[in-house]
Amino acid sequence: MSKIIMEVERGHKRRGRLPQIEVVDLFCGIGGLSYGMKTAGFNILAGFDTDWTCKYAYETNTGGHFFYKDVKKITGEEIQRLYSKKKNAIRVLAGCAPCQPFSTYAHTNKHKDKDKYNLLYEFGRIVKEIHPEIVTMENVPAIASFKLKSVLADFVKVLHEEGYQVDYQVVYCPDYGIPQTRKRLVLLASRLGTIELIPPTHKKEEYVTVRDTIEKLPPLKAGEACISDPLHRCRALSDLNLRRINVTPYGGSWKDWPKELLLDCHKRKSGKSFGSVYGRMVWDEPAPTMTTLCTGIGNGRFGHPIQDRAISAREAALFQTFPTSYRFFPNEQEVSLTKASRYIGNAVPPRLGEIIAESIKIHIRNN
């Protein structure tokens, strides 16, 4: 546990030892949220996801059992059996429903992906069936900007009707020691009393930066992999893209290229708004938000600050606060960059999972 979190805990009332806190994680992916909660001392029982390839990483790192199953086919009784019958044990139901359905585009075009759009309703259904003491949900901030009858409002309504007190807020990840400008909505709900996220642990001058996170890693050329760390590998670049990254100054982007290197889309008015594409990161600031395409220079400001390449999978994992001990593949000598980028970009940063868990622990002690 970080020193700052321990100081936050000391500022709250303590009422004896904590009971056992047990977690079932819906939409678990490779286990970022579960791992953060495990780090805080929670007992991770199980995770559910429709991507069976996440099984190895989830089970190896969190200790929970992975179930390859669609949330629409999960019954409350099935989940209830996973929790222990220990007296006073606290049941936590956690989840991060896939965020794509809650983008502005998907909300305008709901019927194109109706099944995914309904996933949060399935989460609510399971809450109603098992009544866990604590519920937590993490998602994109856009889910909070919908009109009153939005899927988030419906989910919160279900929680209120089932006797939960609910708090949600948009979190700026650097405020909690996560070295990327990611913003996420974090919801906490409890049947025990008022619950809220702990206050920020980092002031602006204390933000963890790109330099803090990756400066000491071995240098790479485009297309290389580190002998001692197979996950520290980056994509090869075409001759044209090598020329482009070579002329991109520190902190710059495609806007700094000579005309002959510009893409056709950047010459059009509509393309000029994507200023960070093909950009280099800045050493003394947090990294941009990691996405499922974060190891490609054409997908955002994912260029290394000074090396002529995109960031490696290891660097992306560190920006997401995965420790170097985290195992993503059974054989990391055969790392798929596409798969690794998807795993890492889709994950809840483990540090955010730890922050959520510490908030729950303080809540339980106070109630």
Contact 175, 202 (CB under 8 A): yes
How far is the C-alpha of 97 from the C-alpha of 90, rounded, in Å? 22
Give yes or no on whether 3-206+349-366 and 210-346 have one common fold: no
Task: Quote the DSSP letter at residue 193.
Answer: S
Is the pTM above the cut of 0.75?
yes
Q: How many CA atoms are closer than 13 Å to the CA of 212, on its beta-carbon side?
A: 15
**Which tens digit of pLDDT belongs to each residue from 87-134?**
899 999 998 877 554 444 344 444 445 555 588 999 999 999 999 999
CA distances from 325 to 121, 312, 317, 361 (A): 35, 16, 11, 25
DSSP string, 19-59: PPEEEEEET-TTSHHHHHHHHTT-EEEEEEES-GGGHHHHH
* The CATH number of domain 210-346 is 3.90.120.10: yes
**Which tens digit of pLDDT belongs to each residue from 231-252?**
999 999 999 999 999 999 999 9
**Stretch 330-342: mean pLDDT:** 90
pLDDT at 148 over 50: no
Q: How many CA atoms are closer than 13 Å to the CA of 203, on its beta-carbon side?
A: 1
pLDDT > 70 fraction of the chain, expressed in percent and rounded: 86
CA distances from 124 to 140, 164, 284 (A): 18, 12, 41
pLDDT at 31 over 60: yes
Domain locations along the chain:
3-206+349-366, 210-346
In terms of Cα–Cα distance, which of 92, 96, 95, 97 is closest to 41? 92
**Stretch 78-88: mean pLDDT:** 94
How far is the C-alpha of 163 from the C-alpha of 331, rounded, in Å? 46
pLDDT in the model for residue 272: 56
pLDDT at 276 over 90: no
Q: Exposure string (b/e) for 344-356, b if CB count within 10 Å is 16 or more?
A: bbbbbbbbbbbbb
* Bridge partners, residue 113, by sequence: none
CATH superfamily of 3-206+349-366: Vaccinia Virus protein VP39 (3.40.50.150)
How far is the C-alpha of 34 from the C-alpha of 344, rounded, in Å? 14
pLDDT in the model for residue 66: 98
Return the higher-pLDDT residue of 231 and 334. Answer: 231
Return the higher-pLDDT residue of 44 and 87. Answer: 44
pLDDT at 265 over 90: no
How far is the C-alpha of 29 from the C-alpha of 19, rounded, in Å? 27
pLDDT in the model for residue 150: 75
Q: Which amino acid type is present at position 70?
A: D
- Catalytic residue set: 99
pLDDT in the model for residue 108: 47
Q: Which amino acid type is present at position 18?
A: L
For residue 94 the two structure tokens come to 């956690």
pLDDT in the model for residue 262: 84
